[in-house]
Structure 1
Amino acid sequence: MLNLLDDKLKKAIKEITEELYKDMIEFVQKLIQTPSMSGEEKDVADLNIAEMEKLGYDEVFRDDQGNVVGIVKGTEPGPTIMYNSHMDHVSPGDVDNWEGYDPYGGFIDRCKVDNQDKEPDEAECVHGRAASDVKGGEAVQIYAGGLLVKLREKGFPIKGNFMFTGVVQEEPAEMVGMLHLIDKTLPAKGLTYDAMVSSEATSLKLYCGHRGRVEMLVTVYGRTSHGSAPWLGINSIYKAMPLIERIKDELYPALPTDPDLGQASISLNIIECSPGALSIVPDKCLLSLDRRTLPGETAETALGEIQSIIDDLASKDPEFKADVIIKSALETSYTGLAYEASKDMSPWKISKDHPFVRAAAEALEAVGQSVKFGYWDFGTDASKTCGIDRKPTIGYSPMQEQYAHTPYDKCRTDFMKIGLEGNVAIFLNVTSAGEEAFEKVEW
């Protein structure tokens, strides 16, 4: 394993961090000032490509879906570590809630911040939509590649390859950008990856997993009649009521719990009926369910739980008819490429004792950072890299989760500087950690 305690290397990392810091902060401001709603990421993709070319990446390209890839090649053979960010963001919402900040301003000032682990204090922050999800982390990852370029120029050995990937359409939660990148773009280019570091918000902690997500649609059937004669029809809303009660009172409390990820959950978030007219008894009641899964659970097992309740109700009530499916959505990228994407994201968890995680932790300690671990409440594209591909995956980022998707969206600039050093240290250490660091993740 690389000796990150070497004073010459640590000094070089810190010196180059100081050299790049101003440009990195100006870059994150440009990213925030460039709107990039899902399906509209082209301008941010252009910025990322131009910045990587300016920083001296060896290879930079855009794929047919609009994802961008930048590669810094090492001086010695070794593994390829993907550093991943998504380029889209959610709507800023009502601008009046932003308390004087332009959501696309990229304004920098000192302000109150919540450190989570202690009382709030003040720090310099950059403000605006996606500062914490994920443009602050995105800028840091891209500049980590630039820092490696400068280390290489100074004669330091670099093992393996650094690969930055900026993907489209993460926010809709169907992983279409990441799936296309990994399953189609990389193989077509003769590329692969051995592990992934996500830039999703972690407050400089190492994050090691999150629950999965399955969106299900239950349709309960009835029969229409005039609203003045409801006894002539079968009201699908009334027929849905015992199903709703059993999901709430029986299924939810019985769901499993993980000591790190918490309890699996199910939430009824949308109810619709058809035809949806006041004078017509509805013949369809549609229930949209948000099911959060744990390792060991799948979309199929979640679907089976609902189907079991449906079957039981149907056996007791000849008028009860219902079905359940996994929802899907048509997602079209800014290049025009469209996917019918299933709303199914896999859960995943990597052990703190996995050699990849240990190597990342040792790297942070070597550059003077305290190591803490955590897990996301929300889902990320790591559902593909670790949940499906079972590749070692962690999150490490300067952004703070509590600001994501809020009108208080911001990222600490001091955390960005620390994160730049940390990302480079992680890369240098894990690429020298040996084959065991890239063992398949099991749970």
Structure 2
Amino acid sequence: MYDIFEGKVKGLRKPMSRFSEKMRQFDVNEQSIAEFRELIIEEMERLEYDFVFDDQAGNIIGIIKGLTQGEDLMLVSHMDLFRAGTGRSGYFLTQGDLAPSPSTFKVGIISSIYSGAAIKNSLIPLNGDIIVCCVTRAEGCDLGIRHLFERFLLKRTSKIKGAVLCEPTGLKVHLGHRGRLQYEIVIGGAIAENVVPNKRGVNMLGSMFPLINELEKVSATLPHDTTLGDATLMIHDVHFRDTCLGERAPEFRVAVDRTFVPFENPEAILERARSIATAVYPEKSSIATALVKNKIRMQTGLETVMTNEFKPWLIQANDPFVLASLEVLRENGFSADTECWKRIVTEGSYICGELHIPAIGFGAGSEVSQDGGIRLDELERAALGQGSIALRNIGMPTFGWSCDEI
């Protein structure tokens, strides 16, 4: 069965090369995202997926129908959306991280689309459907995958056997990552009034420095998880709001990027931040903490408000879905080493962390890439691995067929 599938992956090398070149040359930004989505839809239609459609959140879904309506399997990639005027993508970055190049998420789109196409061309019967989905992510919010499960997959959730997250893993299996969130500390009262230059001439940054300094000290004492790594803290932004901008009292805000491990929770993180700020400004100040929220308006017209939060998640290495996937990868010449993502977040936070659907990561490229290149041989290997995982989990065994006969 896997020889047949591998032959079909190799047979798609030329069209994969052409599509990869189109993707490489495409400059994805807030003006061009609609055209980029159309490029993906057209390619899936050209590859003769059984169904191709998009939804209000901008997700693109392609279906390869199974022989029976048993358990389904998802191949998940994502596309970054940009909030108007910021140029910032759907990634969180921590201190020392490099900004992922656009090719980082394009790789997952290409390999998942062609993995699904090779499965269809192989004619190998499936117990359920292959759901290839390219979901939207904006400003650190996993709006696309949530919308997909709350609408299209609402009645199918219980029959999804697992999900392959086609994010960059260097062709290794990734089992999870730390959680990430952004929060603000809002300081008002006397200390905020004192930073208004026209009133007392106190330097704004000077007034904020004690808090920033204390937060930096705390960052060295954050919890550690033996598998997922250290929790981290980085100052994301500092700004001041004067009374001239509205009726509210003057205040300054410190925005913080925070990664966290499974035994932490957002409520405790916010309470600790508030305690630190209260200790720095004990008198005549109003202090509040809250998760950062973004109002997002999609080109489809959908509007929503979401918090910048991804939950930590980790699937156990002895989970049956993981064991079956590792086994088939080894059989097909992959090392099948297991790791966790260190710098990016994925839709696994929702799929596995909240819905408890088994999920693993497997894809081409590095999780943080600066070269902008897409290697065809690695894309081909990624498509082979992703499809092999799908076939091991929901494919029906076939006997007596050769690659030439199918």
Q: Which has the higher contact order (CA 8 A, sep 6+)?
A: 2
Match status 1:400 vs 2:366:
yes
**Matches of 1:38 and 1:179, distance apart in 2:** 21
Q: 2:139 aligns with which of 155, 172, 189?
A: 172
Deviation of 1:309 (Å): 2.5
Deviations 1:52-109 (A, max 9, x none): 2222222211112221111111223432111111133679xxxxxxxxxxxxxxxxxx
Distance 1:85 1:368, change over 3 A: same
**Of 75-84 and 190-199, the range deviating more from structure 2:** 190-199
State yes or no: 1:25 paired with 2:20: no
Question: For residues 429 and 188 of structure 1, what CA distance do their matches in structure 2 show?
Answer: 24
Alpha-carbon distance between aligned partners in 1 of 2:348 and 2:46, rounded to the nearest angstrom: 28
Q: Secondary structure at the match of 2:129?
A: strand
Contact kept, 8 Å, 1:145 with 1:162, in 2: the verdict is: yes
Residues 130 and 136 of structure 1 are in contact (CA less than 8 Å); yes or no, is this contact kept in structure 2?
Answer: no
Partners of 2:128 and 2:195 lie apart in 1 by 69
- List per-residue Cα deviations over 1:311-336 (Å, max 9, x = no partner): 4456xx32233211111111121212
Deviation at residue 432 of structure 1 after TM alignment: 6.0
Please name the residue that 1:296 is paired with: 263
Q: How does 1:292-371 map to 2 (within 5 A)?
A: 292-313=259-280, 317-371=282-336
Q: Could you tell me which amino acid in structure 1 is paired with residue 113 of structure 2? A: I
* Amino acid across the alignment from 1:243: L
Give matches, 1:32-431, under 5 Å.
32-37=24-29, 40-88=32-80, 130-131=102-103, 133-152=104-123, 156-168=124-136, 170-187=137-154, 193-221=160-188, 222-224=192-194, 227=197, 230=200, 240-249=208-217, 251-275=218-242, 283-313=250-280, 317-376=282-341, 377-403=343-369, 406=370, 408-431=371-394
Aligned-pair CA distance for 1:287: 0.5
Q: Is the 8 A contact 1:89 1:130 kept in 2?
A: no
Contact 1:273–1:285, Cα closer than 8 Å, also in 2: yes
Give the whole-Å Cα distance in 1 for the aligned partners of 2:3 and 2:128: 22
5+ residue gaps, structure 1: 1-8, 92-127, 434-443
Question: CA deviation digits over 1:355-376, x for unaligned, max 9?
Answer: 1111111111111211112211
- Which has the larger displacement, 394-403 or 420-429? 394-403
**Cα gap change, 1:330 to 1:90, in 2 (>3 Å):** closer
**1:411 counterpart letter in structure 2:** I
Q: Please, what TM-score do these two structures have when normalized by structure 2?
A: 0.83
1:142 CA drift (Å): 0.8
CA distance, structure 1, for counterparts of residue 9 and residue 331 of structure 2: 16
Kept in 2, the 8 Å contact 1:400–1:411? The answer is: no
3-state secondary structure, aligned to 1:66: coil
Q: CA RMSD in A?
A: 2.8
CA contact (8 A) 1:186 1:192 kept: no
User: Is the alpha carbon distance of 1:306 and 1:344 closer, same or farther for their aligned partners in structure 2, counting shifts above 3 Å?
Assistant: same
Q: Structure 1 counterpart of 2:359, which letter?
A: T
User: 2:344 touches 2:367 (CA, 8 Å); kept in 1?
Assistant: no
TM-score normalised by the chain length of structure 1: 0.77
2: CA distance, partners of 1:75 / 1:423: 20
Q: Is the 8 A contact 1:214 1:345 kept in 2?
A: yes
Q: Distance in 2 between matches of 1:225 and 1:425?
A: 61
With over 3 angstroms needed to count, the CA separation of the structure-2 counterparts of 1:89 and 1:24, relative to structure 1, is farther
Distance 1:290 1:415 in 2: 33
User: Could you say if the C-alpha distance between residues 386 and 319 of structure 1 is closer, same or farther in structure 2, counting changes exceeding 3 Å?
Assistant: same
Distance in 2 between residues matched to 1:187 and 1:135, nearest whole Å? 27
Q: 1:260 to 1:30 in 2, by over 3 A?
A: same
Q: Give the deviation of 1:392 after TM superposition.
A: 1.0
1-side partners of 2:238 and 2:365: how far apart?
A: 35
Equivalent residues, number? 372
| Shift of residue 164, structure 1, vs aligned partner | 0.6
The answer to whether the Cα contact below 8 Å between 2:175 and 2:314 also exists between their aligned partners in 1 is yes
CA deviation string 1:378-426 (max 9, x = no partner): 11222211222121111111122241xx3x2112211111112111110
Q: Is the 8 A contact 1:385 1:393 kept in 2?
A: yes
> C-alpha distance in 2, partners of 1:411/1:172?
24
Letter in 2 for 1:148: I
The one-letter amino acid of 1:43's match is E
Q: Distance in 2 between matches of 1:309 and 1:294?
A: 20
Secondary structure in 2 matching 1:336: coil
> Residues 318 and 57 of structure 1: is their aligned pair in 2 closer, same or farther, counting only changes over 3 Å?
same
**Which range moves more in the overlay, 187-196 or 417-426?**
187-196
8 Å CA contact 2:292, 2:308 repeated in 1:
yes
